[in-house]
Structure 1
Amino acid sequence: MATATATATVTMTVNRPLANTFAPGAVASSYEEELGAMVAISKMVVDLAPPITSASVIHDNACGPGVVTAAILAKFHAENPGNTTPPPPRIIATDIAPNMVELAARKGPSVEAHVMDSRALTSIPDGALTHSFTDFLFVRGWGEADMVAFASEIRRTLRPGATAVNAAWKYHEWHTVLRDALERTLGGTDAAAAAAEVDERMPRQPWSKESVLAVFAKAGFHPDRTTLHTVQHTPREPIEWDSKLWRQFLAAANEKVTRGMDDATKERYYANLASRTDEDKADPKEYRWEAWVLTAVK
């Protein structure tokens, strides 16, 4: 069990596990350092939210190491400088990974951190929140029932008139590396069929505008009170393909990419992927990260 820090609260709530193949707890310590795009986009997400005051009660849902929490507190203190700064807002940070929750709890004394399944936010009462932030929980790999459950819990915990702010990936430019490996593996006499299979296994756009809006509509958010924005960031730092974090990203992506492949095809794919990442290590590229940011008023 994660233990409380000197400045914040960490608690654990036991829930059934989620089935995503990414293991966030294994990479908690390097998450912020290696994912500058996540940090930059999280600041943009917070800027799209309604004003935050000392009276706000905020949920950082699927919080990771508290990237959104840090952005909220930094913006709050920047807007309230000096010795007369009012107390910061109450922030409830939750994630399924205890290592992530422990890091989030260290962001400040107003942060309460819980290990919790986002489909069942058991420690947050109905109508408790003024703001609910969810960054990149909605990804390929969950079934529709899971995603609607996420969105339904977000709506349940908001006060009437309060706002949910959700970021979902629109485009990962680094996915071109996996697509290149797939094209080298599947290329043959039928170019059209190979191209269609590449798009099926590794689509250029993880989420469409329609798919993001549909999940929240099914959870009860009214389309007339929902707005979709686009934000993007291109880090200049090269991808560290051999790091534990990026091995986790590749493993999660490759679970979908290689599903249903026979052993021989899978072996060729992994050889092509190794060759393609070696090319990038030798001549690193800058890869754009682009996200949908949905704001929905209850």
Structure 2
Amino acid sequence: MAGLDITLIGQSGIRWLVHAGMSRTGREPGITLTDGGVKALMDAPIETDWIEDTEGAIFSGDRFLPRDLMLGFAMADELVGAGVTPGTTEDQFRREFSSRPDPWNPGFQHTQVEVDSELSTFTPRRLSVQLRDAPDMEMKQDPYSKRVFQIAYELRAAQPLWESKKDVSVFTKSGSGSGSGFVTVSNPADTACRHTWILTPGVWTLPDPSWLGAPGHRAPAGEFASRTVMVEVKASYGGLRITRERRKLHASTLTGQNALSAMGGKWIRFDIPPHTPPTQLPISVTGAPSSGARAEIHMPRLWTRPVGMEL
């Protein structure tokens, strides 16, 4: 059966299947999304900028905004099992959400909305959410005596894009000395891929091309089609992480120390465009230690929708 399965992965790690649009086995938790109670689950919000003049306007850019969504739930204690104290299920579910991180828990993870579908190849996709406002419980009658709860959660996803499993391409060289080869990059998603390199000690020449071409036919091209960046990873670093992700240090050791000096004044400049097919890019290393060398390129998959939009 085609459709969407929607699961809430709570802060405790418990999975709450709240909508089963595909055939599945297993007992439901007594909680389901209400009809008409879901808002802003599909497209990520954007804001466009325009420069106006006497002949109209010229597009100057756009940006994704935080996603504010609402999920309405119906909860029935008697569906969970006999002997359940009224309100137990609702109370446990409420404790899966918070408006802020837990500063005492180093492994804290905000609640995630997970959407799985047979309509997509790259699935499931997840969105991390936190409370934007207090949940609104319907109180037209006493829900504890009726043992049925209607409650709406107003949530915010600070990062509004849905994330599917990232892809990783690896180049390895055994033993000391020099070596060369290829990594395979791609981006089936409908937003640009801000990739991350993880490197072991050695002097690396990394590919950083500009791209051109229609969706599905992107290829290294243009003024910087053959651009590379040389990076020296010292043994004292233990390893180096270079990332295009915003709000993160561009180059750091694997322990989080600033290592911008390793870049020699250069930066990895180009994202992998949306809808880029698998493409091999050359990579090389010199001065590898006797244990060999390894380079990984990590490619997150970020989508404007929880389903579809694929290459």
TM over 0.5: no
TM-score (norm 2): 0.23
Higher helix share: 1
